[in-house]
Amino acid sequence: MAAPVVSGISALILEKWKTEVVPGANLHTQGPWNSTVKAILVHTATDLIKDQPDEPELREGVTGANPDLCSPHNWSCTRESVSNSIVKYFKGPDYATGYGLVNAGKALDYTDSNRVIQDSIVDAASREFTMEVPGRLNRLRFTLAWDDLPGSLSSAINTSKLVNDLNIRVVDPNGDSHFPWILDPLPQVIDSNQPPANGIDPIYAEDVKPARKSINFADNLEVVDVDPAGGGYLPSGQWRIIVSAYRVASGHKQDFSVVADYKIIPIP
């Protein structure tokens, strides 16, 4: 049921855009870009975290476990292995829940010309924006998305398919840089650049790792989550959002969307 729910929320975003963001807009020519709708949905999603099995799953034993995640490497599960074979999802993006649960109300709140930027960039260029952040905040999120060109079908199946690669970096008032999440790929069984002939490419419990933060060269969606180290509050004042073009196809201009928690101001 995820697709109809997300489609319905996307329709509400388009409706608000037409009635409030750009009143009377022709959505075919003045509507939000695909990347903007995607960025809003991801930016406002509720992260889902579960790194330990629930008691009912422990009681259920075999039926409570995912046989693809059993340890040791076999196709059977016992009660002792259930705690290692439950599908886990961690802080940030993961292969079980993506960026979390869509939040319709929050998505509509962020469908706002102050919190959304649609811009373009060429190869080796950068675009910079600022955002004034009030005091006593313990979390900020910044989201970058773009619609990439079609990737190559002939390149190795375990390599990035990005054609145009953009990066986002956020600099706080203290001068510290913050980078997006990156989710390392799961191991793959590859035979002559093809999936295994028998169709079996299992995932083991030890293969499922939490996302980490670094420069992201793999995805056309990047999310920077900033939490104060050791608790407390984030620094108030002017934060800088820097979008850079690591690689954009020659002669091409790449459109991109940025969503943030407060008013985004472009730097000329």
pLDDT in tens, 104-123: 999 999 999 999 999 999 99
Contacts for 115 with CB less than 8 Å, ≥ 6 apart: 259, 260, 261, 262, 263, 264
Are 232 and 151 contacting, i.e. CB atoms less than 8 angstroms apart?
no
In degrees, to the nearest 5, what angle opens at C-alpha 205 toward C-alphas 204 and 208?
95
Query: Which domain covers residue 258, as residue numbers?
Result: 117-180+215-268
pLDDT of residue 55: 57
CATH number of the domain to which 157 belongs = 2.60.120.380
- Residue written as token pair 């499922």: 208
User: Is position 30 within any domain?
Assistant: no
Three-state secondary structure call for residue 26? coil
Flag whether 142 is in a domain. Answer: yes
pLDDT confidence band for 157 (50 / 70 / 90): confident
**Structural domain total, the chain:** 1
- Name the CA dihedral angle for 91, 92, 98, 102, rounded to a multiple of 10 degrees: 90
For residues 137 and 260, the answer to whether their CB atoms sit within 8 Å is no
Q: Is the peptide bond before 72 cis (omega within 30 degrees of 0)?
A: yes
Evaluate whether residue 133 is within a structural domain: yes
Q: Which residues lie closer than 8 Å to 268 by C-beta, 6 or more apart? A: none
Report d(CA 40, CA 106) in Å as an integer: 9
Whether 135 maps to a domain, the answer reads yes
Q: Which amino acid is at 47?
A: D
pTM equals 0.89
pLDDT-derived band at 53 (thresholds 50, 70, 90) equals: low
- pLDDT tens track for 161-188: 899 999 999 999 999 999 999 999 887 7
* Residue 63 binned pLDDT confidence (cut-offs 50, 70, 90): very low
